[in-house]
Structure 1
Amino acid sequence: MNWYVIHTKPRQEFRAQENLQNQGFEVYLPTISKEVIRSKSLEAKPEPLFARYLFIQLDQLHSNWFPIRSTRGVHQMLRFGMNTDPVKVPNELLELIKEQAKSFGQTTQKIFESNEQVMIQEGPMKGLSGSFQEIQQQANGEMRAMVLIDLLGKLQKIQVPVATLSKLH
């Protein structure tokens, strides 16, 4: 049994995975957790590690490859050239990818409650503490937090990258 690469249709990696598994194929889709905003709070959402690619395990002699290309979500099997065999992925490489994907999945999500006390750990405001208000996603995808701090005796709302905050105990 060898592993091969499936090229999926845009943003249909999970659909392709599900449909291939429903047909009895062994499929691996490495994912990472991505922070997204839902109701002004952060949630972890699984995203493909390799956009538009997943892996499928096939027996070159006994597997029926014909249904793969017509599977919903699948574009084609990855090949180098028009008349070449699909690209095989060495088992060692796939095991390495699985190990790396596990370590990506173990990152802790920094999710703060409204009015929770936080400290700024980096940047020009380093060392200041304040009250977490909300999270806003910028046009470039960066997550920024609104923090209410006491600056010169007056409460001020400032925006800082979420990654620079830590909870105060």
Structure 2
Amino acid sequence: MNWYVLYTKPKWEKKVAERLTQIGVECYCPLITQIKQWSDRKKKVEVPLFNSYVFVQLSEIDRNSVFNIPGVVRYLFWLGKPAVVRDEEINIIKSSLKATNVSDISVSSIQVGDRIKLDSGAFTNQDAIVQEVSKTHYILVLESLGCVLKIKYK
């Protein structure tokens, strides 16, 4: 059986994981503890590591059974097929979250306006500003070289 990635409504990850467990579906919603501050207090809360994602382990035949759960939107797709996560990757996430020497974990994506440092290719160690992010490419501005770099991916 494969691990698939379910896309959920925002802030529904824990509810979806709980309901999937109730109907007997093997699922995993990695949670991290964060300190949230309100105007009158601070509180430790568990929040999902990946916003709007829950991992489910199902056979190909049973994949549609998850759509009976409120909050499930769709499967995450990669290259036109449902995204499959290897067991080793799930185990790495689990073991990383259990590690006692980790103090802060966050997951973010590249956004327009972000400043990044390129870590591979011909422009290694160059600072760049993200100008555009699309499904097929990134456009980066390399100010120090006075040029614009377009990176295509498949």
The normalised TM-score by structure 2 is 0.59
Corresponding residue for residue 66 of structure 1:
64
For residues 2 and 73 of structure 1, the distance between their equivalents in structure 2, rounded to whole angstroms, comes to 21
Question: Residues 42 and 56 from structure 1, CA distance in 2 versus in 1: closer, same or farther, beyond 3 angstroms?
Answer: same
Please state if 1:36 is matched with 2:36. yes
CA contact (8 A) 1:33 1:105 kept: no
Corresponding residue for residue 94 of structure 1:
90
Aligned residues: 104
For 1:88-167, list aligned pairs within 5 A. 88-103=84-99, 107=103
Residue aligned with 1:34, SS: strand
For residues 44 and 105 of structure 1, the distance between their equivalents in structure 2, rounded to whole angstroms, comes to 18
- Cα deviation, 1:100-159, whole Å, max 9, x if unaligned, reads 222379749xxxxxxxxxxxxxxxxxxxxxxxxxxxxxxxxxxxxxxxxxxxxxxxxxxx
* Letter matched to residue 44 of structure 1: K
Corresponding residue for residue 76 of structure 1:
74
Question: Residues 56 and 90 from structure 1, CA distance in 2 versus in 1: closer, same or farther, beyond 3 angstroms?
Answer: same
Offset at 1:85?
A: 3.3
Question: Residues 39 and 103 from structure 1, CA distance in 2 versus in 1: closer, same or farther, beyond 3 angstroms?
Answer: farther
For residues 23 and 86 of structure 2, the distance between their equivalents in structure 1, rounded to whole angstroms, comes to 24
- Name stretches of at least 5 consecutive residues in structure 2 with no aligned partner: 105-154
Offset at 1:12?
A: 0.7
For residues 101 and 65 of structure 2, the distance between their equivalents in structure 1, rounded to whole angstroms, comes to 32
Corresponding residue for residue 141 of structure 2:
none
Corresponding residue for residue 136 of structure 1:
none
* Letter matched to residue 89 of structure 1: V
Q: Once the two structures are aligned, what percentage of the paired residues are identical?
A: 32
Corresponding residue for residue 50 of structure 1:
50
Offset at 1:98?
A: 0.9
Question: Residues 54 and 41 from structure 1, CA distance in 2 versus in 1: closer, same or farther, beyond 3 angstroms?
Answer: same
The normalised TM-score by structure 1 is 0.54
- Name stretches of at least 5 consecutive residues in structure 1 with no aligned partner: 109-169
For residues 101 and 68 of structure 2, the distance between their equivalents in structure 1, rounded to whole angstroms, comes to 31
Question: Residues 59 and 8 from structure 1, CA distance in 2 versus in 1: closer, same or farther, beyond 3 angstroms?
Answer: same
